[in-house]
Amino acid sequence: MRYALGIEYDGTDFFGWQRLAHGPSIQAEVEAALSFVADHPIEVTCAGRTDAGVHARCQVIHFDSDARRDERAWMLGANSRLPHGVSVLWTRRVRDDFHARFCARARRYRYIILNRAVRPALQARYVAWERRPLDAKAMHSAAQVLIGEHDFSAFRALSCQATHARREVLAISVRREGDRVIFEIEANAFLHHMVRNIAGSLLEVGRGEQPFEWIARVLEKRDRALAGATAPAQGLTFIGPKYPAEWQLPPQVTL
């Protein structure tokens, strides 16, 4: 039997989603908790890996088990074993051909910048900080050129292992809410560090260091060295994937 789970986590104290030999990961914690509930080893597959320090509002995973547990038992049992900062939000029994990664049609991220003179204290785990005033309208205008299918080589990490850099951005926006500048992006898929590299480039526009037309030139040149620095991890949250309605998953992850 195959199950899909929605998971929320604070990535601050982890080395990222992926299981590692040299540090704590969300995947390892989730697999250990589910293995306890199932009483046999469980391996999970996620919709999209997140880096060290990156959070998730609704990461989606799938796993297989013949253990006789209802959906509520999987959720409550796993949560009883997970560390603070990681929670299972929901569980659904799904068809055996469901795949958390390959069935997703879109993925969404949000990057939050606290834009004020004083560094954050209470919000430090969840926002990036920029003391210089940012022009959110200029950042939004600059970002619109990224909509559509493009080669995003200029915004991928040098260590990115994807076979190609073509991705389709479905929506992108930058807005100001008080002292926060909020950058949101939705795409069919993302490259390694793609969102943080775009955020770092948009920050240069927001600070007035580059004109808004600069983003288009960087995209066209396909050269990572021309783009801005990688923005800090703590401002980034994986909002979640989106699936066709046929999978009957909760509304927050359904197209």
- What's the CA gap between 75 and 238, in Å, rounded? 21
- Burial class (CB within 10 angstroms; exposed 0-12, middle 13-18, buried 19+) of 190: buried
The Cβ of residue 171 has, within 10 Å, a number of other Cβ atoms equal to 11
Question: Active site residue: 51, 96, 135, 151, which one?
Answer: 51
Which helix (H) or strand (E) segment holds residue 90: the answer is strand 86-94
Q: Residue 92 corresponds to which tokens in the numbers above?
A: 């659904």
Measuring CA to CA, which residue among 7, 165, 157, 203 is closest to residue 87?
A: 7
Q: Catalytic annotation on 223?
A: no
The identity of residue 117, as a single letter, is A
Active site residues: 51
